[in-house]
Amino acid sequence: MADELQQVAPQVLWRKQVAARFAQLPTRWYQGSKTYNPPDILDGAQDQTTVTVVGATLGKVAMVAFSLDLQGITLTGNVSATDTVTATFRNNTGAPVNLGSGTLSASVFS
């Protein structure tokens, strides 16, 4: 009996650890999007805009995406107010960039 418990104990511990990790995963996912045409962004400059994401709250993880090639521009997002995600397009490419009009999407996990 003791031998059987020694064999099963690691499996039970592993299952408890997996269950604890799953309990830490986000349980809700909120999304929003809008059509957006960023202006020409000069090298070293940035452009910011907001996306309404109903359910977003400060301190939650936000992700943003743009439907067009970013041409080297970095795109970041953060929850800046209740129901609002701020997207920042930052140009460090060495040249001005014009992205054109596309869909800006934001997701928030809580």
Domain boundaries, the chain: 27-109
- Three-state DSSP at 97 gives strand
Please give the pLDDT value at position 82.
98
Q: Name residue, tokens 């359910």.
A: 55
- According to CATH, the topology of domain 27-109 is Immunoglobulin-like (2.60.40)
Please give the pLDDT value at position 36.
98
Give the model's confidence band at 3: pLDDT under 50 very low, under 70 low, under 90 confident, else very high: low
| Distance of alpha carbon 100 from alpha carbon 13, whole angstroms | 53
Please give the pLDDT value at position 17.
83
Torsions phi, psi of 27, nearest 5? Answer: -105, -15
Strand ranges, E, within the chain: 29-36, 46-52, 61-66, 74-81, 84-90, 102-109
The reported pTM is 0.77
**Who's near 11: CB < 8 A, 6+ residues apart?**
none
